[in-house]
């Protein structure tokens, strides 16, 4: 298991905050930890990081920021390799290689701007990075400085703000969603001198479908605020079990494919020592790879049927809107013939 965390800890220059970060790293057995809104000046960054991360490697996006490092990332080089791909004032994009299981995934660490207009640059940055990621495992974690849904606020307006609308549009465009979570619902607490403060969920851990497929048992844990007014966000990655070998399923239509009898005769004529039952089982086993190759030689018919089904549904939706379109009717008939051949 590999554990990652991101935490908005304002004022990392203070020894109290440094000790709390080290405790979070220790308690959660972290392999990687990102600190947001640290307020650490670049002149003091090395000293602070050496105290906080000790033997770990680290990097920051300080070169992209007007004042101090907004994102500081530390990692244990014994457990993970980290490659920085791109960075800006609001996001640090990295590739992470887990050394124990050789799994590789992409991670974007976010500390969004306070003003929603300035966050539009972040949303566009994520869209561009999504095109780079394509269909690889990708997780995005950090402080987005915005609620995503109305239920992410304990009190306040019941209408969607422009900032929330921008956030929602970005999430839809880059095709990510919240990782299964435990712990605190609200990740930020307002601490007024008097009265009841606002609670809000502005920190999130989101992944795409390939990421969840690679780490199906993973969970995002939102811990108590501690010395900060925001939760430490911990992502625990549990590797999927090694896939079991797929059983060979004989497709009846294989007997009509050219080359089927040649394969059967070639494998059946192989000399196998042993009792009669063992020889039969062994020869049947020897046929698997050749018959599987024959199945895919002109394309996997099962896969073609699945694709055809989706195409058929699209065509029939179009027919529903345009019933007299002869071209659509012809396309429907053609797809149906493909599906019937595969049934």
Q: What is the pLDDT of residues 244-285, one digit of tens each?
A: 555 666 667 677 777 888 888 888 888 888 778 888 888 888
pLDDT at 228: 81
Q: Which tokens is 71 given? A: 């994102």
In this structure, the answer to whether residues 34 and 97 fall within a common structural domain is yes
Percent of the chain with pLDDT over 90: 48
In this structure, the answer to whether residues 15 and 37 fall within a common structural domain is yes
- 189: in domain: yes
In this structure, the answer to whether residues 88 and 158 fall within a common structural domain is yes
In this structure, the answer to whether residues 218 and 282 fall within a common structural domain is no
- 96: in domain: yes
Return the CATH number at 84: 3.60.10.10
In this structure, the answer to whether residues 58 and 137 fall within a common structural domain is yes
Identify the residue with better confidence: 312 or 145.
145
In this structure, the answer to whether residues 292 and 307 fall within a common structural domain is no
pLDDT at 320: 46
Residues 16, 14: Cα–Cα separation, whole Å: 5
5-19, 59-73, 146-160, 237-251: which has the minimum mean pLDDT? 237-251
- For 5-38, write each residue's pLDDT tens digit: 999 998 898 888 898 899 999 989 999 999 999 8
pLDDT at 77: 96
In this structure, the answer to whether residues 137 and 94 fall within a common structural domain is yes
Contact 204, 184 (CB under 8 A): no
In this structure, the answer to whether residues 229 and 314 fall within a common structural domain is no
In this structure, the answer to whether residues 262 and 328 fall within a common structural domain is no
Domains: count for the chain: 3
In this structure, the answer to whether residues 223 and 293 fall within a common structural domain is no
Strand partners, 36: 8, 71
What is the model's pTM? 0.69
Q: What is the 3-state secondary structure (H, E, C) of 40-99?
A: ECHHHHHHHHHHHHCCCEEEECHHHCCCCEEEEEEECCCCEEEEEEEECCCEEEEEEEEC
Residue range(s) defining the domain that contains residue 17: 2-237
pLDDT at 143: 97
Which among 103, 81, 83 is positioned nearest to 95, based on CA atoms?
83
Instruction: Please provide the average confidence, as pLDDT, over all residues in the chain.
Output: 85
């Amino acid at each position: 298991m590999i554990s990652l965390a991101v935490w908005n800890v304002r004022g990392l220059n203070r020894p109290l905050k440094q000790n709390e970060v080290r405790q979070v790293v220790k308690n959660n057995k972290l392999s990687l930890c990102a600190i947001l809104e640290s307020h650490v000046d670049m002149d003091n960054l090395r000293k602070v990081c050496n105290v906080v991360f000790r033997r770990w490697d680290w990097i920051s996006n300080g070169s992209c920021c007007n004042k101090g490092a907004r994102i500081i990332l530390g990692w244990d080089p014994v457990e993970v390799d980290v490659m920085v791909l791109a960075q800006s004032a609001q996001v640090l994009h990295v590739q992470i290689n887990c050394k124990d299981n050789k799994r590789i995934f992409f991670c974007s660490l976010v500390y969004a701007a306070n003003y929603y207009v300035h966050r539009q640059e972040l949303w566009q940055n994520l869209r561009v990075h999504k095109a780079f990621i394509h269909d690889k495992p990708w997780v995005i974690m950090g402080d987005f400085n915005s609620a995503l849904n109305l239920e992410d606020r304990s009190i306040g307006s019941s209408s969607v703000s422009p900032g929330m609308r921008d956030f929602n549009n970005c999430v839809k465009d880059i095709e990510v969603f919240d990782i299964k979570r435990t712990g605190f619902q609200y990740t930020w607490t307002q601490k007024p001198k008097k009265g009841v403060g606002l609670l809000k969920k502005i920190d999130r851990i989101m992944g795409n479908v390939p990421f969840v497929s690679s780490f199906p048992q993973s969970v995002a844990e939102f811990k108590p605020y501690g010395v900060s007014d925001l939760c430490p966000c911990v992502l625990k990655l549990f590797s999927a079990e090694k896939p079991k070998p797929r059983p060979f399923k004989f497709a009846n239509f294989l007997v009509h494919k050219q080359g089927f009898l040649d394969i059967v005769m070639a494998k059946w004529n192989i000399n196998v020592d042993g009792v009669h039952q063992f020889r039969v089982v062994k020869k049947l086993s020897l046929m698997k790879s050749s018959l599987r190759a024959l199945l895919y030689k002109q394309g996997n018919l099962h896969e073609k049927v699945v694709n055809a089904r989706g195409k058929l549904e699209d065509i029939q939706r179009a027919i529903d809107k345009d019933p007299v379109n002869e071209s659509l009717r012809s396309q429907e008939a053609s797809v149906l013939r493909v599906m019937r051949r595969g049934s």
